[in-house]
Amino acid sequence: MTAKPNDDHLQDLRDKIDAVDRKLVELINQRAEYVVEVGNRKRGSGTPIYAPHREKAVLDKIQDYNTGPILDRTLEGVYRELMSGSFALEQPLRIGYLGPVGTFSHLAATRQFGSSVEFEDLRAIEGVFQEVARGHVDYGLVPIENSTGGGIIEALDAFLTYHDQLNIYGEVQLAIHFSLLANCKPEAVKQIYSKSEALTQCRNWLSTQYPNAERIPAESTAAAAKYAKAAYDKDPSSGAAAIGSSLAGEIYGLHPLFEQIEDRQNNVTRFLILSRQETEISGNDKTSIMFTADHRPGSLVDVLSVFKRNGINLTHIEKRPSREVNWDYTFFVDIAGHRKDPEVATVIGEAKAHCKQLTVLGSYPASRGVL
């Protein structure tokens, strides 16, 4: 059968794509050879393999180079995987995250660090802090706040214990999209497992769609998927379902009945990357501090006025009981700038004079956007 003219043109385009692919593979491997040399030099000087300020510089340049039609977001995903492969060549990295497999923390870790690093499933937020502090993992990733639910108490409290043993090394923002996962038909759902925060963030949707379904708390959305699958396997008429990520559904063998069921579509969780190392200035940084103000009238105002008077923007503030004296509180504040910026260092010194205790938890590049 004679090929049609348009078939010939299509084959010509495919041949050109194959030629480009061949060249891309050659260039990627050439880049990898340079990466190996960089890794050798880093190991010789004790320089960290993963450097957030360098990551930011690379991704910024890629965005500047891009003239389309491919989206910046797509290129960023490609280069995050390239950098992940580079870590494997330079020095295999172990990343600790709040498990089990399939949680949103797991999803954030894979999107940030790619698929070529080793991931350590840790079952508690404090466990991530502990393993980073002990050097059992190279970096840890923990949730610190959600745009709907606010600050994550377990993470804030862990800083009270581990603030002098590690640093905040970076931040990641992840869009949180919940799915109703099950292996039964939508009308057969009778039980819905999930973490209490997830049930809260989908409350209006659940009240409308499944007002009579039993809501069963689980320690995580991934565990919820595991429980729902086990309940269905034991009794297919149980109507067991779970609220979690699409990744959890894939891992535990559940199908998405409905996607994006969260009440607020702009639901975002912010994660922190923990390390025993410190970052360098990237040009768009945040500094996180925690402090306990003097126990006297107006002491908190005195601390905060230092930042206002010097034109330093406070981007976030939380508080937790200090654990030392009843009704004393430790405040957690994020400010714009790097601790090595002279103006930021000066302001921190001034603020410290009004505090019983002030600790810099870390300076790090602000997240580039929502993953």
CATH, residue 200? 3.40.190.10
Per residue in 87-141, pLDDT (tens digit) is 888 778 999 999 889 999 999 999 999 988 999 999 899 999 999 999 999 999 9
User: Is residue 148 in a domain?
Assistant: yes
User: Is residue 5 in a domain?
Assistant: no
Same domain, 313 and 350: yes
Q: Residue 325 above 80 pLDDT? A: no
Please give the pLDDT value at position 92: 82
Q: Which of 34, 58, 89 delimits the end of a domain? A: 89
User: Is residue 12 in a domain?
Assistant: no
pLDDT tier at 38 (50, 70, 90 boundaries)? confident
| Residue 165: φ, ψ to 5° | -120, -5
User: Is residue 81 in a domain?
Assistant: yes
For residue 356, what are the domain limits? 279-365
User: Is residue 145 in a domain?
Assistant: yes
User: Is residue 41 in a domain?
Assistant: yes
For tokens 């030629």, the residue is 19
Q: Please state at what angle helix 72-90 crosses helix 52-65, rounded to 10 degrees.
A: 140
User: Is residue 6 in a domain?
Assistant: no
Same domain, 286 and 350: yes
Per residue in 279-321, pLDDT (tens digit) is 999 999 999 999 998 777 788 898 999 999 998 889 899 999 8
Is the Cβ–Cβ distance between 161 and 134 less than 8 Å?
Answer: no
Same domain, 192 and 134: no
Cα(94)–Cα(247) distance, integer angstroms: 21
CATH, residue 33? 1.20.59.10
Per residue in 233-268, pLDDT (tens digit) is 999 999 999 999 999 999 999 999 999 999 988 889
Q: What stretches of the chain show up as alpha helix (H) in DSSP?
A: 5-45, 52-65, 72-90, 104-113, 125-134, 153-162, 196-201, 203-209, 221-234, 246-252, 299-309, 342-352
Q: Residue 1 above 50 pLDDT? A: no
Is the Cβ–Cβ distance between 291 and 353 less than 8 Å?
Answer: no
Q: What's the whole-number average pLDDT of the chain?
A: 91
User: Is residue 4 in a domain?
Assistant: no
Same domain, 255 and 194: yes
CATH, residue 319? 3.30.70.260
Same domain, 79 and 26: yes
Please give the pLDDT value at position 364: 96
Domain tally, the chain:
4
Same domain, 129 and 81: no
Please give the pLDDT value at position 211: 95
Please give the pLDDT value at position 4: 57
pLDDT tier at 217 (50, 70, 90 boundaries)? very high
Q: Residue 51 above 90 pLDDT? A: no
